[in-house]
Structure 1
Amino acid sequence: MTDEDERQTEQRLERAIMDLLERRGPTATICPSDAARAVYEGDDDGWRALMEPARRAARRLVTAGKVQITQSGHPVEPTKTHGPIRIRRAR
C-alpha cells in the first residue's frame, strides 16, 4: 500500500466514524471496528487490518475536537489507552 493509499484509507475511516456517529443518537458510541468494517470492501475478516488505522483516525478526530475516546464510559487521553475503546461525539 502506498502512502497515498494509506492517507485515503485513513480519511475514509475518519468519515466513516463521523457518519456512523451521525446515524446514532447524540450519546451513542461506536467501536473502531464499526468504522473498519464500514471501510473494508471484502467479505472476509480483512477489516481487522484496519483496526489500528481506525484507532489513529479516532485519535486525529479527538485532536480536532470532534470526538472523544472513552473506556468504561469515561473520556480518556487517547495516547494513554490500553485495551478496548469506544468513540463518541465530543461533548
Structure 2
Amino acid sequence: MSEAEIEETMLRLVAERGAGKTVCPSEVARALGGPHPDGWGPLMKPVRRVAERLMRENRVAILRKGRVVDDPETFRGIYRLALPADGASGAGNSASV
C-alpha cells in the first residue's frame, strides 16, 4: 500500500465526515485493507506516519481526548483524525474542528 493511497483515503474520509467530526485511523486502514485484521492491521503504522505528515502540512488534525495534539511525532496512545481548524484539508472543504 503506497503512502499516496493512504493519503488519498485519509483525506477523503476526513472530508466526508465533515467539520466537527472525527475518523478513527482504523477506518482508514479498513478502507484500504478490508475488514479482516490481517488486511488492515499491518496498515496502522503506515496510516499513523501519513497522519503525522499531513498534520505537519496542516491538511489533517490529530486529536487525543478531543484536543489537537501539540506535536504529531511525539504523542502517544489512541487518536482520531479530523479536518484542521482552518479547514485546509486538501480536499476542498472549508470547515473547523
User: TM-score w.r.t. structure 2 length?
Assistant: 0.79
In 2: Cα distance, 1:21 partner to 1:31 partner: 9
Identity of aligned residues (%): 36
Higher strand share: 1
User: TM-score w.r.t. structure 1 length?
Assistant: 0.83
Structure 2: segments with no counterpart, 5+ residues: 86-97
The DSSP-based 3-state class of the residue aligned with 2:17 is coil
User: What are the residue-to-residue correspondences of 1:39-78 with 2, within 5 Å?
Assistant: 39-40=32-33, 42-45=34-37, 46-76=39-69, 77-78=71-72
In 2: Cα distance, 1:52 partner to 1:63 partner: 17
Higher helix share: 1
Shift of 1:84: 0.5
User: What are the residue-to-residue correspondences of 1:17-56 with 2, within 5 Å?
Assistant: 17-40=10-33, 42-45=34-37, 46-56=39-49
Structure 1 residue ranges (4+ consecutive) displaced by more than 3 angstroms after TM superposition: none
User: RMSD of the TM alignment (CA)?
Assistant: 1.3
User: What are the residue-to-residue correspondences of 1:1-16 with 2, within 5 Å?
Assistant: 9-16=2-9
Shift of 1:43: 4.9
